[in-house]
Structures are given as C-alpha cells and as structure tokens.
Amino acid sequence: MTVANAEDPVVLDESAEARRRGARVVTFGLSSGDYAVDDGALVGPEGQIVGVDAMARRYPHEIADALCASAVALAAGAELEGCRRTLERFEGLPHRLQLVGEANGVRFYDDSKATTPAAVLADMASFPSAVLVAGGRNKGLDLTPLRALAPQLKAVVAIGEASEELLQVFGGACPVQAASSMDQAVHAAAALAGPGDAVVLSPACSSFDWYSSYSQRGDDFARVVRGLPAAPPGRP
C-alpha cells in the first residue's frame, strides 16, 4: 500500500506509478483525500478518528501528519480507538515547535529540528505574528523561499554562518538583524516581539557552526528563554 499526500502534486504524481504497479494508493489531506478533516474531526473510510480540538498537538502540519499516521496504522491493523487515544495524548517531541517559556505575553518555541526551508515554511504557518530566529550552517539549500514568510513576521533575527545570507533574503521585506550569540538572539527577539506574538527558533540550517547537534542548539535557546523575566518552562 502507498500513502500519499493528496495536496502535494509532486507526491501525488509519484503515487500514480505505484498504482500502475498494482499497489493500493490511499490519500490524505487537510481538505481532500481518503483521510481528511471534516466538520472539525479527522475522518477516514473507517469512520471518525478524533476531533481536532481533542488532539494534544494540532498545528496544521501536525494534523496532516496525524492523518498520514492514522492511515498507515489502520492499514497495519490498528484500531480506531487506539489511534484516537494516541492522538489525544501525544504531546510532540523535543525541539519540534516545543513551547519552552513565556514572558510579557510572548511565547517562545524551540523548533531547532527544522533544518530546511521547507520545514520552516510548514511550521511557521502556525503563527500569524512572530519573530523568527533562523540561521546556522546552510546545508547548500536555497533560503530565498523563506522570504514568503515576511508578511507574518514582526522581524527576523539571523544567527550563525548563514546570517549574512538571511539578511539578504529578508532585507526590504521585514525588519532583520544579526546576532552573534544565542543569548543576544533571544534578547533581541524578545525586544522585537509584543504581547500575543511568538518567538520561534526555526533555523532552516544545521547547527554545526555553533553547536554539535540541533538538540544542543534548542537546549541553549531554552536556557536563555528561561532566564528572561517571567518565563517559566512551558508545555506544548
């Protein structure tokens, strides 16, 4: 069986080859597919899986992930009730849009695992108003697609080896400045954000200029956030 995103034309085209070879193709998507969102709930051919409001994690990309995971699990013999319980309890993994603190009405999220522009674009769709902390060691990828985020960004704080490249990407589109350390980056982002905004470390780059891993980078971000006034550790 092949599980394909009905809302990704490239993936859907590739799944046609599997269908030609005799494989069963099951699709998913937020608004279309065999598994989709209907009337506030995740549904599939087997029936309703879970209400969106009951999910512990329900950012747009996470709902799509849940639809895909449910399709795979049910095909492998899982029961609807098991899928429902899992989606109601699963609170995500570290460094993936993990809420690490709040100060002065601003929430701070560690998304250090997002090491490509595509991951950043997907994750930042969850925030209508944010300050983005991005950069690190570019993996040879084109960072210019990130400019599409400018309308929803209050500002960008660029870090690491890719900071100069990010200054060029966002220059003229939204306020952008460079920081020479994580401490400086977090304090700059906090000053640029206002109540109701999010500050998101979503780097689009690897961590290997300043850190040994994305997890170390995320932990350092959280360390600085937790040192801000009135910023207790948070929950997703």
Same domain, 191 and 137: yes
CA distances from 223 to 112, 152, 188, 226, 235 (A): 13, 26, 15, 5, 15
Residues in the chain: 236
Kindly tell me the sign of the dihedral angle through the C-alpha atoms of 70, 109, 32, 10: negative
What is the pLDDT, as a whole number, of residue 236?
37
Q: What is the pLDDT of residues 139-168, one digit of tens each?
A: 999 999 999 999 999 999 999 999 999 999
Q: In the listed set 89, 116, 133, which residue is the last one of a domain according to the structure?
A: 89
Tell me if 214 is assigned to some domain: yes
Note whether 74 and 130 are same-domain residues: no
Average pLDDT over residues 74-103: 97
- Do the domain assignments include residue 233? no
**What CATH number did the domain enclosing 116 receive?**
3.90.190.20
Domain co-membership, 104 together with 85: no
157: containing domain: 98-226
Q: Of 89, 118, 147, which one is at a domain's C-terminal end?
A: 89
pLDDT band at 229 (very low <50, low <70, confident <90, very high): confident
Q: Are residues 166 and 106 in the same domain?
A: yes
In DSSP terms, which residues pair with 113 in a beta bridge? none
**Tokens 């900071």 -> residue:** 163
Number of C-beta neighbours around residue 69 at 10 A? 19
Residue 136 included in any domain: yes
Q: How far is CA 136 from the centre of its chain?
A: 17
Express each pLDDT in 169-187 by its tens digit.
999 999 999 999 999 999 9
Query: Does 217 lie in the same domain as 113?
Result: yes
Mark whether 29 and 116 lie in a shared domain: no
Residue 234: inside a domain, yes or no? no
Backbone region of residue 196 per phi and psi (left: phi > 0; alpha: psi in -120 to 50; beta: other values)? left
In a domain, 220, yes or no: yes
Residue 32: CATH number of its domain: 3.40.1190.10
Largest CA distance in the chain: 60
Same structural domain, 60 and 102:
no
The count of structural domains within the chain is 2
Strand-pairing partners, residue 137, are 206
Question: Cα Rg for the chain, rounded, in angstroms?
Answer: 19
Q: Is the pLDDT of residue 231 over 70?
A: no
Average pLDDT over residues 131-145: 98
235: in domain:
no
pTM: 0.91
What integer pLDDT is reported at residue 235 of this predicted model? 42
Same domain, 41 and 146: no
Q: Given a cut of 80, is residue 92 above it in pLDDT?
A: yes
Indicate the residue among 89, 123, 142 that finishes a domain: 89
**Position 66 in a domain:** yes
